Chain A
Amino acid sequence: MEVVNSIRPILAIGVSLLAACLILLTGERARNLREFWTILAAVVKFSIVMSMVPFILDGKVIEYTVFTIAPGLSIGFKVDALGIFFGILASFLWIITSFYSIGYMRSLNEHAQTRYFACFAIALSATMGVAFSSNMFTTFLFYEVITVCTYPLVAHKETPEAIKGARKYLTYLLGTSIGFQLFAIFMTYNITGTLDFSHQGIFGEARGVVSDTIIIVTFILFMAGITKAAMMPFHGWLPAAMVAPTPVSALLHAVAVVKTGVFVVVKVVVHLFGINLLWDIGLGTALAYFASFTIVAASVIALTQDNLKARLAYSTVSQLSYVILGVALLTPSGITGSIMHIVLHAFGKITLFFTAGAIYVAAHKTKVSELNGIGRQMPFTMAAFTIGAFSMIGIPPFGGFISKWYLTMGAIEANQLPIILVLVSSTILNACYFLPIVYAAFFKEPGTAHHNAHAPAHGVAFAGSHNPHSGHKLHEAPAMMVVPLMLTALGTIVLFFAPDFFLDITKIALENVTGGK
């Protein structure tokens, strides 16, 4: 495999760090300039990431080692197909979220916006760092940076609940990552003498030298330590983190943070342990069943949640385990489905979170039971919600269908019929907790109590001010918010009809993993 030396990965990481500094320096005095830095950094970052794509499609790998601390222990970057995949996703959605954030923060007149945008930029830098890191040590480093710099975002409101939620967030993430993940990294280094990711795993030769028990323990420690993937029983932080402002929930807790978690799980499974080894020991199947449990259990809990964001959070918990399930099947289709699900779920879920935020800004509603008839008031938002929900359920022609298709194929390849059952039942459950919202929003009569009673003064009337069908006043969130959410909704449809770009990258990633077989 051809290796290209380039500092582009560092540029991709550095640009938003630089932006964070500029944001802090600009401060509250010149808000437009401050927001300009965010947008500029987002666009530049995306173009840097895209500039690396041709190399990857040519089957090359971009590498850059910053410095070596000890043999087998360095801070270095390697952009391969899997990494670029995640990089494109996160940097693209950052652009959209930036616009949405500006709309959201300004319409709610939130405090400490400078801190908010700066932390956001740092979080994105760290996400790029995870995507492009060449070894487990660098990954861990950026993993922790994400945890620390998203803490102020979660605690943004500084109310007692926000601080409590943020504390839970930090306790879960930091506690498990230091207690389990770091320990697992130490074990890995002790067993293999290196932490560098290798396409076929680094544990292969170690088997036989150390007992299987130690390898199994290391694997379990990794899985318990990567709490960002929100696998049960370590999922509690995600609903708790919903106290954050909605753009944070949208980008970080549907894309950057949680996807970092599953991305690292995928990396650990395929690039540290290697498919063959896990297949031989039988750990893949065990992980698959574990993930299946999370998928079903989280969906059931989601049914009981009345808070819209909490419902979305549990849905995220469930959907994240799809990714883990896919890779745990250890079959080509399973892994393809798993990687594709990272991007497809991201588009769908970010749409849903955006709509939740828009509803909060425009109508100050957070509960599912209050949403009766809201579709007439906010047709664009709720249309996007419907698209997102359909994608989540996996109905064609929306993106979510593709990954579910591949996951099911993977389960068949692996001869795991119970897994298919899990996928089917979870689809039904998804429908059960999303469709009532859609139904209520469009077809139920709004309750009198919620009849625009608390329409906020700063809400902006959208386009036409009257809706001839219902007589309700159109009352959308600001265009700065509605346009992004329409775009991501559109994205899920586009991805159904034109998934080739992402599928091509996935194919290369898969070839790397299986060694071209």
Chain B
Amino acid sequence: MTTQSPALLIIVPLISAILCLLLGLIRRGLCYPFVVAVLGVSVILSFDVMGTVLNDGVIRYRLGGWDPPWGIEYMIDHLNAFIAIIIASISFVVAIFSRKSIEHELAKGKIIYFYTIYLLLFTGLMGIVVTGDVFNIYVFLEIASLAGYALIAIGRDRAVLASFEYVVLGTVGACFYLLGVGYLYSVTGSLNIMDLTLRLPELYHSKVILIAFAFFMVGLALKIALFPLHVWLPDAYTYAPSTVSAMVAATMTKVGAYVMMRIMFTLFEPYFSIKLLPVTTILGWVAAAAMIFGCIQALAQTDFKRVLCYILIAEVGYIVLGISVGNRAGFTGAVLHILNDAVMMACLFMIAGAIYYKTGMRHIYEFAHLHKKMPVTVTCLVIAAISVVGVPPTCGFFSKWYLVLGAIDARQWFFAFLLLASSLMVAIVFFKMMQTIFFAPAGESAHAHIDEPHKEHKHSRDEAPASMMIPIFIMVAGILLLGIFSGQIVSTVIQFTVPKGF
């Protein structure tokens, strides 16, 4: 099995997506356990792939036995394997969470389709990660995006409109990426990343290559919602169903950031992206603006999920900043932050889902005295919030640690300062939330006193069901453990992902 694992990572969920549809026709209840099982298998496969990479080095898997550069090659090194584990694990945990949440938020008939598309989304994301072919990345990018459009559109309120906006902008992003591929192909005649790496250095001064690079960057910036190309994200992720928000927020932008890393540092050499072009400088400033903008916007929002969306935009800024400082510490921070942010965002969006499931509340100002009703959930929220702010020993601190060290190493004092400043702003965001939860204003409690039975109901302990709480616990445990073991993660995996030439 081990030798075929890279292909199985994609084939298993792809075939299962169709099987899921068929199973659903037999009995609707079968979909959920089936999807969880499939994703469980994917998690095992991704760990298996990582094990192979750690033991035997880079995997180069020829799909269908065709030799590169003609055939499609799956190239997996430490970076892909790491991201694959993140995607698979998050999808698995969120799938466990989905059961009650989806029953609550979706019409009965849609559940089968939901799980089918969910698997397709997973397939797309996995495909982007394992493939070593630039055109193949485009195809999987679109598979993931199409699944994403559909999943977001089944949400509430303005979800359809938000999804439409996402379709339009997402397509532009994908088309730019495709144009980049076209330009690259027209001068090199190759699509394989490893092959292109060898061919490109002599063309570094060609204008075509520059344009291709520019198209790649803009296209991906749209896909990962990098400020100022983020406009589609807040609406889309806010109105999507809770499960979908948790899944896409945790994985989609991260995968985009991964592709960005690949293009900047594997496809092109660090020499090209850092020395030859001012790309990193531009990206650095854009990322810094994203961090500040995201936090300021988050301060102004009342919808909990929307707050999280803007924080996500800021977090994307962190990752891109880590990429753009162009040194070992910064890159380590960016990769570690992909992991940490995925876990934190999945956790927070699932908490939002659990709160919505139990109380129907979406706005922070409604959360008064929530800790009396859902003490465990609120505890989890506090831990996740502390991690997003970046207080040790939670995982959020350690990626910021490397990011700031990277900025200092690059003698970018201003970026280092902004990283800390945006942490502070996130702290204010969550502090406001905690204050509402724990010390609600007097008016709120007075209101509760009038309606005595209502108050009783509001304050009696009532947590979300176990199928929602267990995934949240897993993520909270992840936040703490990843923090404690971040040293080991860096030394066993991430240090090998740092591109040569740093």
Contacts and interface: CB of A to CB of B under 8 A. Distances in A.
- The answer to whether A and B assemble together is yes
Interface of A: 67-70, 73, 75, 137, 140-141, 144, 148, 152, 155, 158, 160, 163, 167, 170, 174-175, 178-179, 182-183, 186-187, 189-190
Given A69-B487, A144-B391, A186-B401, 20 more contacts: A67-B487, A69-B486, A70-B490, A140-B392, A141-B393, A144-B392, A148-B386, A152-B438, A160-B441, A163-B435, A178-B423, A178-B427, A179-B420, A183-B420, A186-B404, A186-B416, A187-B408, A189-B405, A190-B408, A190-B409
A471 to B, nearest CB: 44
B185 interface: no
B198 interface: no
Contact of B424 (A69, A73, A179): A179
Contacts of A163: 435, 439
What DSSP secondary structure best describes chain A's contact surface?
helix
Given A68-B487, A137-B392, A144-B392, A186 B405 contact: yes
B442 A178 contact: no
A190 B424 contact: no
Contacts of B386: 148
A155 B392 contact: no
B431 interface: yes
Interface in B315-360: none
Interface in B377-405: 386, 390-393, 398, 401, 404-405
A192 to B, nearest CB: 13
A170 B405 CA distance: 26
A133 B486 CA distance: 20
B420 A182 contact: yes
Contacts of B487: 67-70, 73
A178 B424 contact: yes
Contacts of A148: 386, 391
A372 to B, nearest CB: 35
A506 B461 CA distance: 52
B292 to A, nearest CB: 14
Contacts of B442: 160
A315 B421 CA distance: 32
A241 B307 CA distance: 30
B417 A183 contact: yes
10 contacts: A67-B487, A69-B398, A75-B393, A144-B392, A163-B439, A174-B427, A179-B420, A186-B408, A187-B408, A190-B409
B439 A174 contact: no
A182 B405 CA distance: 11
Contacts of B405: 186, 189-190
Interface string B429-447: 0010001001101100000
B448 to A, nearest CB: 14
Contacts of B486: 69
The winner among A158, A175, A179, A190 for most chain B CB atoms within 10 A is A190
Interface string B462-490: 00000000000000000000001011001
Contacts of A69: 398, 486-487
B439 A179 contact: no
Contact of B435 (A68, A75, A140, A167): A167
B451 to A, nearest CB: 21
Nearest to A70: B487
A263 B426 CA distance: 29
B423 to A, nearest CB: 6
A492 to B, nearest CB: 37
A163 B431 CA distance: 12
Contacts of A144: 391-392
Contacts of B421: 179
A190 B330 CA distance: 13
A179 B427 CA distance: 12
Nearest to A159: B442
Task: Kindly list the 7 A-B residue pairs having the minimum CB-CB distance in the complex, ordered from nearest.
Answer: A69-B487, A141-B392, A190-B408, A186-B404, A158-B439, A70-B487, A144-B391
Nearest to A160: B442
Contacts of B441: 160
Contacts of A170: 431
A148 B382 CA distance: 11
A171 to B, nearest CB: 8
Contacts of B420: 178-179, 182-183
B438 to A, nearest CB: 7
Contacts of A186: 401, 404-405, 408, 416
Nearest to A147: B391
Nearest to B490: A70
Contacts of B392: 137, 140-141, 144
A67 B484 contact: yes
A158 B371 CA distance: 15
Nearest to B407: A186
A179 B417 CA distance: 8
A175 B424 contact: yes
A80 B292 CA distance: 42
A163 B435 CA distance: 8
B296 to A, nearest CB: 16
A179 B390 CA distance: 12
A202 B420 CA distance: 24
A243 B391 CA distance: 26
Contacts of B423: 178
